[in-house]
Chains A and B, each alone.
Chain A
Amino acid sequence: AQSVTQPDIHITVSEGASLELRCNYSYGATPYLFWYVQSPGQGLQLLLKYFSGDTLVQGIKGFEAEFKRSQSSFNLRKPSVHWSDAAEYFCAVGDLNTNAGKSTFGDGTTLTVKP
């Protein structure tokens, strides 16, 4: 069964500092991987996705993520955090084997940005 682990429940960074959010997945084949962001009371917005090819993927809002098969990781990074980045971030792995198109999500990392 597929699973996603986000080891950090809560991270606090200063505005302008760099950010890395960790994500580890368990999946039997080549995974489809996603990062979503959720602001309070809102739905999820897709930041970026990985399917194949270049292991460093660029997303919206200046985010990027790197797929490392050997470590089963897909960590999200941003070089300089803005106060508006404060939100909850979810990593997800897509399931295509059953043709169900469902995604399995981690439990999220809450990002707080200090001024």
Chain B
Amino acid sequence: DAGVTQSPTHLIKTRGQQVTLRCSPISGHKSVSWYQQVLGQGPQFIFQYYEKEERGRGNFPDRFSARQFPNYSSELNVNALLLGDSALYLCASSSPTGLRDGYTFGSGTRLTVV
């Protein structure tokens, strides 16, 4: 069974540009969460979606947005990129039992803003 898949694995963008990151959860998982991991720090919560509805938002500016599709895959969009947005973006999915089972993380998308 495939794990959580994220695409692309790496990308380089210029300041001011927009980027879209994609995530496919484990089959049967309806909840997807997004985290930002800056080098040397732990992951920071950005969004959680469940059944296509936003269930939580972390302390990130409105430049960050996300959505979940009927097949439970998800996209994270970041507008007007700043150098500080350079990070590893992690997607995680969880089973219908939710947080009790913890999250299964993808390998992430490494975003570099130049």
Binding site for B on A (CB under 8 A): 4, 32, 34, 36, 41-46, 49, 51, 90, 92, 94, 96, 98-108
Contacts and interface: CB of A to CB of B under 8 A. Distances in A.
B105 to A, nearest CB: 4
B64 interface: no
Interface in B4-57: 4, 31, 33, 35, 40-45, 48, 50, 55-57
Interface residues of B, number: 31
B41 A107 contact: yes
Interface in B46-99: 48, 50, 55-58, 90, 92, 94, 98-99
9 A-B pairs with least C-beta separation = A100-B56, A105-B42, A43-B105, A102-B45, A44-B105, A46-B102, A43-B107, A101-B99, A94-B99
A99 B56 CA distance: 8
A64 B44 CA distance: 25
A41 B10 CA distance: 11
